[in-house]
Structure formats: structure tokens, C-alpha cells
Chains A and B, each alone.
Chain A
Amino acid sequence: MSIDLKPVPHATPESQSYWNGVAEGRLRLQRCSQCGLVRHYPQLVCTKCYSVAVEWIDASGRGTIHSWTVAHHAFHPAFKADLPYTLVTIDLEEGPRALGRLDLASQSKLHIGMAVQVSFPANDQGVKLPMFTAMV
């Protein structure tokens, strides 16, 4: 990792469609073409039926807070300016979980089960990543 810049995502053949979606502001998830199981993070094989056939769906982007942590220490210098920032784990409507930042305005209401909506704003290096916001 460079000491100056935030690490950037490196797409793999399995995840390229996910990151293409992020670039377009869409949360895309893998769905098994054979049995329909939706999975995340992207991986080669369906854990239920072992098929490698996959299609990509546009998720609703809605989910609920499952857990979180608030970073008060920068383990990488490029994140110092972001402190404190909140990382949340989200139970997505489609089943799998996602990890993202929680937007500042939503932090005072934070609790398990809080309904959130994803968006993909660019960070200070122009990299788009998932950000969750409390739904009103």
C-alpha cells in the first residue's frame, strides 16, 4: 500500500461486474442462474447447488443496520482526514450483507435494524464506494 493514497479496489474476473455497477451508481449482486440464490461477495461457485453459472441483478440498495464500528484511529495515513468515520454492516433486502460507510447525518440515529439506502459517492480520491444513509 502506498503511504500517501487510499488503497483502491482491484477487480477480479468474478467481481468486475460488481465494480462496473458501482461505477454506474448501482448495487449489483450475483444470482445463481441454476437455483436463484443471491450471493455477495462475488465468488466462483454457488454454495447451494455448486453451479458456476451466474447472472447479475440490480439490488434495491435498501437494507437495515446489522452492526457497526466507529474508526477513531487511522491505521493508514490516508484515512486520517476522515476520522472519525463509521463503517456499517448492512443486511440487504436480497439476503446477503454489505459493508459500507455511514453518512455523517445518519450517525446520531444509529441502531440495529435502522433502515438505510445505499449510494456510491466518490471519495477524496475520486473512487466510488458504498455509502449508506438512513431512510426517512
Chain B
Amino acid sequence: MMSLKGKGAITGIGETAYERASPFSAFELQIQASLAAISDAGLDPKDIDGIIPIGITGAPAEAFVMNFGIPDLRFSALAPLGGASGIAAVQCAVAAISAGLCNHVLIPAGRNVSSGARAGVRIHQMPQFHQVTEYELPQGAIAPAQLYAPMARHHMELYGTTSRHFAEIAVGIREHALLNDNALMKKPITIEDHQNSRMIADPFRLFDCSLESDGGAALVVSSAERARDMRQPRVVILGSGEGHPDSPSSITQRPDMTRLGIAKAAPRVFEMAGVTHADIDVAEIYDCFTYIVLCQLEDMGFCKKGEGGPFVEDGKLRLGGSLPTNTHGGLLSQAHMLGMNHIVELVRQLRGQGGRAQVDGAEIGLVTGYGDMGDGAMAIMARG
């Protein structure tokens, strides 16, 4: 059977400045990031022959063809997995390239949400939320924080996980954001700051929740073979996969509320990549909420289910620890860029372009995405 192992590479990355109340539209941010990624790859926009746009508010592929004058778009697709869309799109791109359908796939994302409708209102316009919108929204289960909180509470009651475990995740990721000039959060926080931050949706406090921010991020995916001769140090995709949780439209109805879609994808991704957990030098883990990081660590098999709290407690997710995580500051402290910023950061780390947050000798890393009601995606990449 054909495997996608080592077939694709991320050859271009681009990001705009992340900010609140950006003067640019989502599409303009998407265009800015796309031009940056294409230039980073050493390509011209007319070299792009595949497009997978990200995000429900984003522009369709046609808009890029129009604005870039792309002469022959040969492949387009959508990967609507919320915050797991970016990685799902990378996998889709590698599959299309490997099948000979196209050469260079652009994956552009842009959002301008911080001054418009908040996430709690926006999600209820999405078809995948229709059950929540009908049965739960009228009762006051409105925002992701409220929909996800029962997962975290169940975990805490079952396994003794504590809010201080969540705090360690928030504090470590904030430390990393302080090393990143393009991060919204500029001040350090302590465990006590986390514990004193106001309660939003018990057990989630303010510092358990990700930011709402504006910006753009984009990727160019090419064949691993072609990437040898391109501008940047090569970053090869060793393994990728997406996984959908049981009861994907309703967390309430999920038999095991502590098991996310990534639990199904992770074994496949490790197997495809041919690496083990101990080989991972750096991890960029989708962090819409602190608990979601902890749960994914368990679901990926870094520790047993229920042991995520003690696993993170010793600071191993911080730079210098055994599994440095979210070296850019994540959704919690850099910006909410739908996890596209996680993919960009992993590529930077593996190129050795991580700046002050560079993990020494990072050769193999993983990135995860989490979307909507628990969709998961994951990729393992390597330098060289």
C-alpha cells in the first residue's frame, strides 16, 4: 500500500503581524500571509497550482486565482475541521501532490474576528454545530469554553486532575510567548496569577482560554523531492492523519468524553512516520484551552489516560524540558490563528529559525490540531 511517508514537504511559511482590531479584512490578511509564504518558498504566485483555503470566513480558491492571476489551478479542496483544518489540509495537499495532481499547494488562512462577533456567537452559524445550537444554546451553553468545560470537569473528577495542572500549561506557554516578538501577550504569569484569574466556565479560568485575535498565516506544500532544490532548509512530512471523535456533533452524547479525535489518528501517524514518542524534540499542540493540551498528550500516548496532570507538572513542556511545547506561545499567548501558527512554528523550529525560542538540535517534531467538537489532526515532520 502506498504511504504518504516522506512524500511531502512544507516549503513555504508566512505570517502577518498578529493583533487585535486589525484594519485589514480577513481576505487581505490571507493574501498578505500567502505572498509571504510563496516568497519564503522562492516561488511566484503563478507557480501555485493547488489551493486549500482555511476557515469558514476565508475566501474560496477562486479569489486567489483572480488576484494572483494563477493560470492553471489544477487542484482545490476544503478541509473543514475547525482548528484541525490546517493539518488536515497539509495531508490533503501531500496526497494530491503524491498522486501527481499538482506541484505546489497554497494553504492560506486569514481572520478578522476580534472586533466582530465573538466565537460564542459565530459557531452557531456553522452546520456542524446544529445540534448544539438546537438543544444546548437555548440553555446557555453558548461558547466553546462552556461546551468543553464538562470534558475537563469529568477528567478532574475521574482522575484528580487539578486547575494547577492547567495553570502549569498556561504559564509555560506564556513564557515562550515572551520570546516571540509576534505574540500578543507580553507579560509573564505565575501559577498564582492563573489561580486568581477570573472564572469563565468552571473549571476554566480566564488564563485557561485562548485569545481572540486577527491575522493571517499560510503554508506552501510541495513534493519532498522538489523541496531539495528550493530556497529553504527542507522540512519533510513524515506522517500525518486526521481523527474524528465518537459523536462528532455533540460532546454531550460522546460515550467517553475524555477521548478526542486525535486518539484515533495518533497511532496511525506515529506508525506512518516510523518514530516513537521519545524521538519528538519539539511539539506544537493545539491549545484553545489548557485542558485540551493535557487531553491530547494523553490521547497521543505520551502518558496514560488520566496521567496528564502529573505528566505536565514537572515543567517538561517548557523550553529546556523533555517535550518543549508551543514554543511560539500558542493560541493561549501568541494568537488564535486556527493552529496555522503551530504549523508555521514547527517548520521554523525544524529549519533552525526558531529565534530565541529555538530548541537546540530540533530534528523531529509534531504538530496537532483540534477543531469544533473534538476533531483532531496531527503531523510529524523532520528536518533534512
Residues of A within 8 A of B (CB): 1, 6-12, 15, 40-41, 66-73, 75-76, 79, 82, 85, 87, 89, 96-101, 111-112, 127, 129-130
Contact = CB atoms under 8 A, between A and B. Distances in A.
Contacts of B253: 40-41, 96-97
B276 to A, nearest CB: 33
B199 A72 contact: yes
A41 B131 contact: yes
Main secondary structure of the interface of A (DSSP, over half): loop
A6 B143 CA distance: 14
Interface stretch (B117-125, B173-181, B351-359, B368-376): B117-125
Interface stretch (B34-42, B133-141, B292-300): B133-141
A85 B150 contact: no
B182 interface: no
Given A70-B201, A82-B140, A85-B140, A9 B135 contact: yes
Interface in B252-303: 252-253, 257
A72 B138 contact: no
Contacts of A12: 134
Given A6-B138, A75-B143, A98-B252, 8 more contacts: A9-B135, A67-B151, A68-B153, A69-B201, A70-B199, A71-B140, A87-B146, A99-B252
B154 A67 contact: yes
A41 B146 contact: no
A72 B198 contact: yes
Which has the most chain A C-beta neighbours within 10 Å: B143, B151, B201, B257?
B201
Nearest to A99: B252
Contact of A99 (B133, B135, B158, B201): B135
A101 B139 contact: yes
B313 interface: no
B121 A100 contact: no
14 contacts: A6-B138, A7-B133, A41-B134, A41-B250, A66-B150, A67-B257, A68-B153, A69-B149, A76-B121, A89-B150, A97-B252, A99-B136, A112-B157, A130-B139
B201 A76 contact: no
Nearest to A70: B202
Contacts of B134: 9-12, 15, 41
B101 interface: no
Given A1-B121, A96-B253, A97-B252, A72 B202 contact: yes
A67 B150 contact: yes
Nearest to A112: B157
Closest 9 CB pairs of A and B: A69-B149, A75-B120, A70-B202, A67-B150, A67-B154, A75-B142, A75-B143, A72-B199, A73-B200
Contacts of A67: 150-151, 153-154, 157, 257
Given A15-B134, A72-B201, A79 B142 contact: yes
A127 B154 CA distance: 29
A99 B141 contact: yes
B201 to A, nearest CB: 5
A69 B140 contact: no
B318 to A, nearest CB: 29
Contact of A87 (B121, B124, B131, B150): B150
Nearest to B258: A67
A75 B139 contact: no
B139 A129 contact: yes
Nearest to B158: A112
Contacts of A130: 139
A49 B151 CA distance: 29
Nearest to B154: A67
